[in-house]
Amino acid sequence: MVQLTQEHKQIILNSIRDIPDFPKPGIVFKDITTLLNNPKAYGLLIDHLTNRYKQMNIEYIVGLDARGFIFGASLATKLNIGFVPVRKKGKLPGDTISEKYELEYGFDEVEIHKDAFNNKNAKVLIIDDLIATGGTASAAAKLVKATGVTLVECCFILNLTFLDGVKKVEQFAPVYSVLDI
């Protein structure tokens, strides 16, 4: 199915649990471990994404550290295409390019291997579990574009709409979110 039914969306949404006050007071953490161990909900999600991106002829999936790796690698296997990680600074062993971005307090930095894509004309999708302020995904989008490939879309399982992160990321590529909350 290319479009998810309301019922299917509800099954996926119900499989994600809220953990209040994690990692600090006032934050409601969206825990996707309960989606991963629910084969019906996870199957519906991956089938949906497979159908959507099969039609777009994506050639690489870029997953964001760390939960984006799980969704991205599952999807890449289904589509029979390559997977590329964007990691937090200092984790990738080869030559990298990096991008700093602002957090509520201070900065963070993400990296990609310089030679991550062997086809420089490739069509690429970025995926992560959740978009909040859009800072992480925007930095990743800058990195992907800096390698010269075409960034076709940024995909998120959950979009925390009240933080308006989509607006920021849309400056780099179209955004698709499975569930808006």
Per CB under 6 A, does 99 bind ligand AMP? Answer: no
Per CB under 6 A, does 59 bind ligand AMP? Answer: no
Active site residue 104: yes
Angle at 66 between CA 158 and CA 164, to 5 degrees: 35
Query: Whose Cβ is closer to ligand AMP: residue 30's or residue 52's?
Result: 30
**177 and 166 Cβ atoms separated by less than 8 Å:** yes
| Continuous segment of H or E residues that includes residue 23 | none
Per CB under 6 A, does 79 bind ligand AMP? Answer: no
The neighbour count for residue 6, using CB atoms within 10 Å, is: 7
Amino acid code (one letter) for 62: V
- Choose which of 49, 129, 141, 155 interacts with ligand AMP (CB under 6 A): 129
Query: Catalytic: which of 67, 87, 99, 111?
Result: 67
Question: What single-letter DSSP state applies at residue 124?
Answer: E
Footprint (CB under 6 A) of ligand AMP, residues 14-33: 27-30
Report in angstroms how near the CB of residue 158 gets to ligand AMP at its nearest.
Answer: 8
Residue 163's closest CA among 143, 142, 177?
177
Per CB under 6 A, does 64 bind ligand AMP? Answer: yes
Report in angstroms how near the CB of residue 133 gets to ligand AMP at its nearest.
Answer: 3
Report in angstroms how near the CB of residue 128 gets to ligand AMP at its nearest.
Answer: 5
Active site residue 67: yes
| Cα–Cα distance measured from residue 84 to residue 70, given in angstroms and rounded to the nearest whole number | 12
Q: How many residues bind ligand AMP (CB under 6 A)?
A: 17
**170 and 153 Cβ atoms separated by less than 8 Å:** no
β 28-31/123-131 pair status? unpaired
Query: Whose Cβ is closer to ligand AMP: residue 71's or residue 117's?
Result: 71
Catalytic residues: 67, 104
List interacting residues with ligand AMP (CB under 6 A): 27-30, 64, 67, 128-137, 165
